[in-house]
Amino acid sequence: MSATTRPEHRVAAQLRGFGPLGLFAVLVIVLADTIVKPLSAVLVLLWAWRSHTPWREIGYVRPGSWIGGLVVGVAFGCAFKLLMKSIVMPLLGADPINQPYHFLVGNRAALPGMLFTLIIGAGFGEETVFRGYLFERLGKLLGNGRGAKASIVLLTTALFALGHFSNLGVPGVEQAVFTGLVFGTIFAITGRLWMLMWAHAAFDVTALVIIYYGVEEDVAHLVFG
């Protein structure tokens, strides 16, 4: 039996394709993200390993400097969140108080679980799925031209935004549209995921800090009063 006809090679090819097995893998990974975000990212890594997809194709590219990338990502994520909270969301008429997570004000007991959710679930999980994995899958379908990349940014942003409706409502969708477009555009240009993971985690942790210390209204009125 030649290497190209071995069962493991056939399965890898089917996982990379868009037949029943390939589409089933996409469905399972996307649905898993709505249930347990870190699990969906682990499934992406298993898919990449089993389908013989190079890590760089899902954005796992070693940065030139781990420390430099971390600093840039954290700084960008914090600044981006403050921009959204103090300028963009007020212009959209959003409630300055994040009602679904208002219970976190001064709630020290909830911090460990929330930090895990935000850093691992959002930073690692959502970026691996919505930027790394879906960009790779849609890229195989649509190509790598500018128009194709723009379409992929829009499609992944729409999915990313819709995923925030159940727990954050319309304001969450609005914010996710902006973050999805920005993070998606950066990934479309760079093809690198690590900085975006750190930026996404920093974005959400900054939101947590603002809520925890009860300064949401102060930050929301920082520019427009």
Q: Can you give the pLDDT of all 225 residues of the chain as single tens digits?
A: 444 457 778 999 999 999 999 999 999 999 998 888 899 999 999 999 999 999 999 999 999 999 999 999 999 999 999 999 999 999 999 999 999 999 999 999 999 999 999 999 999 999 999 999 999 999 999 998 999 999 999 999 999 999 999 889 999 999 999 999 999 999 999 999 999 999 999 999 999 999 999 999 999 999 997
Q: What was the pLDDT predicted at 37? A: 86
Q: What was the pLDDT predicted at 55? A: 97
Q: What was the pLDDT predicted at 1? A: 42
Total-model pTM: 0.93
Q: What was the pLDDT predicted at 123? A: 95
Is residue 162 a contact partner of residue 130, using CB atoms and an 8 Å limit?
no
Q: What was the pLDDT predicted at 2? A: 47
**In Å, how far from its chain's centre is CA 33?**
10
- By CB atoms closer than 10 A (0-12, 13-18, 19+), residue 209 is middle
Write down the domain spans for the chain: 58-220
CB neighbourhood size of 17 (10 A)? 14
How far apart (Å, rounded) are the C-alpha atoms in residues 225 and 223? 6
